[in-house]
Structure 1
């Protein structure tokens, strides 16, 4: 209940959230931690779509003020150059400039091109058309399959659980969250009780010609 003693309205929550926030040990009451998570998840979604605004948000701290100044970046640049491997030590990093970066890339390109040219006569898989100069790789022909590869395939298949196509669609939707790409053209959250389930089933049905005709 709220501070006034009235029951808390959870109509904003989806059906799955309503099940999760119920306190099974105390019927009619809510599990506080799950309810708090539910509120903040829905609040974040409404803020993202613009359905809810925070009064006075313009007076909050500007995130640009938290960025490093150019002088601060310059102080950290030598250490970064060493960390990414562009130079070997801090002394060389302090002398590193745009010209040194350009010369370094040019030297790497020249060295790599020379190695490629040197190895071309013995490279049987690469052919260059004498008329157009377009390089082309020969199609790789697979050799005889090794016994160890066949055994490995059998072991992998034995340990892989059998999945239905609908289950695979649901799992990819859960992990990749591609179902969030669907929704109204306005960009607001869909007003569906279970958008995840609805979009997964719709994708499954319309992705299979037979299932779509059957529907």
Structure 2
């Protein structure tokens, strides 16, 4: 039988023995689930094995994504460098990119301007520190308070009032239904094979799936808001018929149709 709790002491039979596993890296959101304690100052002698494993794997995934952790020889399975552009492409596109984002090309010049900008920012912060009400030092630590929100200008308030007055309130589900009627996206998520059974109402199931995972509320909360469907029905389409390739096709179709609106021209080239 799998044990629910895992002792982290060198001698589980001796309450005074030291812990052999350092768990201080566990974040606040995981702490109570893993240890059962409300505060980190409490003594911990055992951890919930399942929650601890999930916490470890989440941290590993995060560290791998940020590059702070690596797996030896993992490049033999998938080398991320193959997805990068070549040095020739980099050199050819660098001047245009720097011009668009307002940077100076060239190693020496870029480092010099960045250093000057950082020095200017530091000097500005130092000069404003005595009069800054949001920044203070307590017990040798720098404390930065939350800034007060800027009051919107009268023009912004006027535009907001006009929008609220002239635009009708639209239910999010109605928006998804209208998009589905317009683009017929559910056809991209049909059966993966001819042997798979068809669902009775693909449009409804597709709309609920988009609402569920698009808002990130999950199947359980979705069925609380929508009557007549079960949690398994909501999750089924995502689990059984959704693939990366199908999502890419649906996204490409949405982007293609979206670009036909003249409104996006107001945002510039992006």
TM-score w.r.t. the length of structure 1 is 0.40
Higher relative contact order (CA 8 A, sep 6+): 1
TM-score, scaled to structure 2: 0.34
